[in-house]
Structure formats: structure tokens, C-alpha cells
Structure 1
Amino acid sequence: MVARVQRWLVFGWLLVAVAWTAWWGSRSPAIAIAGLLVLTCSHAAFLALEFVLCFRVGASDPLPRASAWQCFKAWLAESAVAPRVFCWHQPFRWHAQPDHLPNAPRRGVVLIHGFVCNRAFWNPWLRELRAADRAFVAVDLEPVFGSIDRYVQTIEAAIVRVTEATGQPPLLICHSMGGLAARAWLRDADGARVHRIVTLGTPHRGTWLARFGRTANGRQMRMGGEWLQRIDGESDSVRQVPFTCWYSNSDNIVFPTSVATLPGADNRLADGRGHVEMAFDDPIRREVLALLED
């Protein structure tokens, strides 16, 4: 569903751009160019608002916030990487890297994407894992706007497939909401069935932005919300399974900074990285995949 919706959004954007250029091109080239610039840069303006909110809200957080310069650099990087993800990989390349399940006794991976994403979010990771002949399954979380609890069976099926292929508990790698979906799975599962859970920018204690969420899963990510309180109370997840939690002081979606950490976890700072950029940072990817050898 995500791929289909995002394809239509891309086609709609192209249609508007072509219509605008055709109408204004001969009448006023300056207006034509200005309109195209607005269409091209509108996502960057929206991201800028998120970074401003992140910077302001982060002032009261116990963990140090990023500098204004770090936020600016993160905004530039996020403005470049987000269109590649949401306008190319997810709409058009969501099956470019199919699941890979060689029968080999080497630890495999289950990859769990975040809100309004699909499995193509992980394409650079999937290429690297396939080149290394590592077993992996990248899930699609459906329904897109449903309760996080509804993703548990999808994660269970992926863990079973990778375990059957490798004979070993897999490493779970999760971005954003995907980390909460993994914790929802863990409530009623045996933690020994997974090797470790790695989260990248997961709102373990909610996010300030979720106050504007109106979908079921968006509401579940509200700070201090009932769902998050229940998931914290129902399972002592960090003691069941080792967690590595990557968090950023300039995460434009999950803020203030400390909400992406967990007590007792191996919390690692992705200094000056935006929310999507964090998952496309080569050093972070190398450190995460090195955990396969633990």
C-alpha cells in the first residue's frame, strides 16, 4: 500500500510540475522557475520546521541538544536523503532486494521499518547483507495506520523464517516505530529467540511530534501515552534481550533526545544525524552489522 500511495504522489508531483511549466514557460519564465523551485524545495521547508521544533523542545531535555550548526547540517543531509527514500526507493524499488534465505549456519537478520515506510527503506542494508550471503527478511508492516500490536504476527513470521534457514536466533534491526513493534512482539515471546534488538531513532518513550498524530499507531507514540505505559509495564524487555539503541541529538522526528534511549540498554549517540539520515550513515551501518559476529 505504501508503495502504491507514494507512486501516485510522485506522479501527481510530476504532473503539477509539467502543467505549471507548460502554462508559465512561455508567459513568464521567471514565474515558471520560481514555481518549480517551490515544488522542489517544499519538503525541505517542512523538514526545517521539524528541526526548529527539535532544537527548541530539546532545550529542556536532560541530554545535551545539538548545536544550531549541527541541526543545520542535519537538515541539509535529511533534505537530500528523504526524497531518495520516499520518492524513489519506497515507491519504485520496494522489491529490488528480495528476502534472502540461504541454508547456512550464520546468524541472519530481520529488518523492521518505521512509520509510513516499507521494506525498501532498507535497500542499502539488504544489498550489503546479500553480498555477504547473510540470511535476511525485511518486513512490510500492514496496515500502515493500524495499531502497532497488529504487526506482531508479521515479525513472528519473519523471525521463524530466518531461524529456520540459519538455525540461529536472528539480529533484529529496527528503525523508528519498528523498534516499538519489536518490543510489542517481545511482550508475549521468548526473548532467547532473538540475538539482540538494535533500534535506530525509536521513540521508546514517545515523541513530542506524536501529539499531532491521528492514526492508531501515531497516537500510540505519544509521550506518556497509555500504550507506551502499558508496554513498559508488561515486559522487562531490556533484561530479556540485549538492546542497542541509537539516538540522535538532532533527530527531527523523535525528540527530545532522551526519548530514543532505554534504561539498561547500550545507548549510542548518532551525533548530529537526522531521523532518516541515521539509517543511511555508513559508519552506523557498519557498527550495527558488526553485531552479527557477537
Structure 2
Amino acid sequence: MSVGSATPRDGVVFLHGISRTARSFRKMELAIEHGGYATLNLDYASRRKALEELAEDIHPAIELFAGALGGSVHFVCHSMGGLLARVYLARHRVQNLGRVVMLGTPNGGSEIADRLKNSYPYRTFFGPAGQQLGTHRDAATAALLPQIDYPVGIIAGDRSIYPVTGALLPRPHDGRVSVANTKLDGMTDHVVVHATHPWLMRNDEAIAATIGFLRDGRFPTHSRS
């Protein structure tokens, strides 16, 4: 965590995707810190608990971070981290909430999860949260993800390094999530970059687009495909 005490400034909370760690956001975190933001790059037990439990796990650290800032608290999230942010903000609305950027988040669910969620390897590896990633959500999961009422910018990828799982997705897609299913009713902006799912947060174009949205509330024109 990096929080400056000299002058009030905005902060950014990073939430990685399922089966990833905070390290996956390090390149983007450094770029955003260079832009003058305080940062909180969280690790959480993405494969061990359901989304609602994870939201409670991350709450103390975010509450402490937000309370130490003089400016707004933004969220930058990869993949399932975006769903976790939605659950978290529905339960623990940050008073000084700023903007949210989601990279490759399956807001409309994942067709891969639909196909694999009942298989033993999938259930074992991805755990309870993995069961909440499908396109056909039960009432309980749907209730965790109410309509957004804050600024959200979404970055999708259209390149894949997964020939097998990619075959399960409608094109275009990033190998894990279709571009169509990254979209969200009420989103502020949406952009597609030429990157695959696991590398979205390390892609230079995605990093520049993220910083632009945090700063201006829109993606830079040059980021649009």
C-alpha cells in the first residue's frame, strides 16, 4: 500500500482476477503511482470463498485506505475482480467513491464457466466464486450484483492464446471472456484493445486507457479500436 501524507490525493484500489495475485497488477500499479495516485494492491483468497465472503475480507483494508485519503477512491479490477468490486460497493459503499475501471470482467457471465462449472477439476480449482461466473445466474448471485450507479469504464481484449477454451466463446473474445459479455448496463465507456485475457493489465494501451479514465471519466480517443 502506498499512501502519501503530504497533500490530499486520490487513491486506487486494485482487485486481481481469480487464481491471480496482486503481483499481476504491478506494472499498472507503478504507472498509476507515477501519475500521482496512492495505491492499495490487494491479495485475496479468490479460489477459496464466494464473492460475498471475499467482499467482507477486503473491507477492512479498503476502509482504512479510504479513510487516509483526502481525495476520491477509485477501483481498477481485472476479470472476476470487477465482479468483486460490484459486490463490495453494493455492500460497503465508499463515501468518497470515484471511478471504476474493469479489464476483461465477465459482467454478463462466462460461457466457459457455463460449460465447465459442474466438472470436478473446475470446481476444485476455481472454488465457490467460480460457480458464480456463469451467464445463467441464480437469484442469490444476481442480487449480489445490482445495477451500477457510479462511473464505470470497461476495457475488453480481442486476442486469445487459448485455442481450446476460446472455441467455446463467441467472437471477438480474449480467450476467457467475450467482448459482448464484458459490457454492463449503465457503463460510462467501453473500449477494445488488442490483448489477451491474462495480459490485459500489463498491456500498454490498456494502462494508458485506465489512467485516462481515472483522470477524465472517459477513455482517450486514441485508445478506441
TM-score normalized by structure 2? Answer: 0.77
Distance in 1 separating the partners of 2:75 and 2:132: 21
Count of aligned residue pairs for this structure pair: 191
Aligned match of 2:132 in 208, 220, 223?
Answer: 220
The CA deviation at 1:198 is 0.9
Query: For 1:247-262, what aligned pairs fall within 5 Å after superposition?
Result: 247-248=156-157, 249-255=172-178, 257-262=179-184
- Alignment-derived partner of residue 2 in structure 2: 100
> Residue 251 of structure 1 aligns to which amino acid in structure 2?
D
Task: Give the structure with the higher percent helix.
Answer: 1
TM-score normalized by structure 1? Answer: 0.60
- Alignment-derived partner of residue 231 in structure 1: 144
8 Å CA contact 1:247, 1:267 repeated in 2 = no
Runs of at least 5 residues in structure 1 that lack an aligned partner in the other structure? 1-98
The question of 1:244 aligning with 2:153 is answered yes
Query: For 1:15-34, what aligned pairs fall within 5 Å after superposition?
Result: none
Aligned match of 1:278 in 182, 200, 204?
Answer: 200
CA RMSD of aligned residues (A): 2.0
Distance 1:130 1:190, change over 3 A: closer
Query: For 1:98-247, what aligned pairs fall within 5 Å after superposition?
Result: 99-103=1-5, 104-142=7-45, 144-190=47-93, 192-211=95-114, 212-213=116-117, 214=123, 215-226=127-138, 227-232=140-145, 235-236=146-147, 238-239=148-149, 241-247=150-156
Runs of at least 5 residues in structure 2 that lack an aligned partner in the other structure? 118-122, 158-171, 217-225
8 Å CA contact 1:139, 1:154 repeated in 2 = no
Identity %: 23
8 Å CA contact 1:208, 1:223 repeated in 2 = yes
Task: Give the structure with the higher percent strand.
Answer: 2
- Alignment-derived partner of residue 215 in structure 2: 293
- Rg: which structure is higher? 1
8 Å CA contact 1:174, 1:182 repeated in 2 = yes
8 Å CA contact 2:3, 2:39 repeated in 1 = yes
Runs of 4+ in 1 over 3 A off after TM superposition: 129-133
Distance in 2 separating the partners of 1:162 and 1:291: 21
